Amino acid sequence: MAVTGRFPLLVALGAIPVFIDPTRRTVLLWAFLCLVLALLDVGLAPSPTRLRLDREGTASVRLGEAGQTELVVANPTGRRYHGVLRDAWVPSAGAVTERHTLRLPAGERRRFATALRPTRRGDRRSDLVTIRSVGPLGIAARQRSIDVPGRLRALPPFDSRRHLPSRLATLRQLDGRSAVRTRGQGTEFDSLRDYVEGDDVRSIDWRATARRRSVVVRTWQPERDRRVVLVLDTSRTSAGRVGDIPRLDAAMDAALLLAALASRAGDRVDFLAGDRWVRARVAAAANRTTLLADLVQAMAPLDPALVEASWPALASAVSDITRRRALVVLLTPLEPAAIRESLLPTLATLTRHYRVVLASVSDPALDTMAATRETTADAYAAAAAERTLALRESTAAMLRRMGVDVVDGSPEQLPPRLADHYLMLKATGQL
The CATH number of the domain where 388 resides is what? 3.40.50.410
pLDDT value at residue 135: 86
- Considering the domain architecture, whether residues 405 and 387 belong to the same structural domain is answered as yes
Give the span between the Cα atoms of 298 and 370, in whole angstroms.
38
Q: What is the mean pLDDT of the chain?
A: 86
- Considering the domain architecture, whether residues 217 and 236 belong to the same structural domain is answered as no
- Considering the domain architecture, whether residues 248 and 136 belong to the same structural domain is answered as no
- Considering the domain architecture, whether residues 229 and 127 belong to the same structural domain is answered as no
- Considering the domain architecture, whether residues 31 and 147 belong to the same structural domain is answered as yes
The upper half-sphere exposure of residue 97, i.e. CA atoms within 13 Å in the direction of its Cβ, equals: 12
390 in a structural domain: yes
- Considering the domain architecture, whether residues 236 and 329 belong to the same structural domain is answered as yes
Domain boundary among 180, 204, 222: 222
Give the span between the Cα atoms of 113 and 223, in whole angstroms.
51
How many domains are there within the chain?
A: 3
- Considering the domain architecture, whether residues 333 and 412 belong to the same structural domain is answered as yes
- Considering the domain architecture, whether residues 394 and 358 belong to the same structural domain is answered as yes
Percent of the residues in the chain that have a pLDDT greater than 90, as a whole number: 35
pLDDT bin (cut points 50, 70, 90) of residue 224 is low
C-alpha 423: how far from chain center? 25
pLDDT value at residue 10: 78
pLDDT value at residue 190: 58
pLDDT bin (cut points 50, 70, 90) of residue 183 is very low
The upper half-sphere exposure of residue 171, i.e. CA atoms within 13 Å in the direction of its Cβ, equals: 22
Mean pLDDT in residue range 149-153: 90
182 in a structural domain: no
Helix (H) or strand (E) holding 349: helix 344-353
Domain boundary among 155, 176, 211: 155
Give the span between the Cα atoms of 400 and 96, in whole angstroms.
50
**254-285: pLDDT as tens digits:** 999 999 999 998 889 999 999 999 999 998 87
172 in a structural domain: no
Give the span between the Cα atoms of 126 and 152, in whole angstroms.
8
317 in a structural domain: yes
- Considering the domain architecture, whether residues 203 and 250 belong to the same structural domain is answered as no
**371-398: pLDDT as tens digits:** 888 888 878 888 888 888 888 899 999 9
385 in a structural domain: yes
- Considering the domain architecture, whether residues 205 and 258 belong to the same structural domain is answered as no
CATH code assigned at 48: 2.60.40.10
Position 425 pLDDT exceeds 60: yes
Its pTM stands at 0.78
- Considering the domain architecture, whether residues 234 and 218 belong to the same structural domain is answered as no
- Considering the domain architecture, whether residues 208 and 288 belong to the same structural domain is answered as no
Domain holding 216, by residue range, is 190-222
Give the span between the Cα atoms of 283 and 288, in whole angstroms.
11
Position 182 pLDDT exceeds 50: no
176 in a structural domain: no
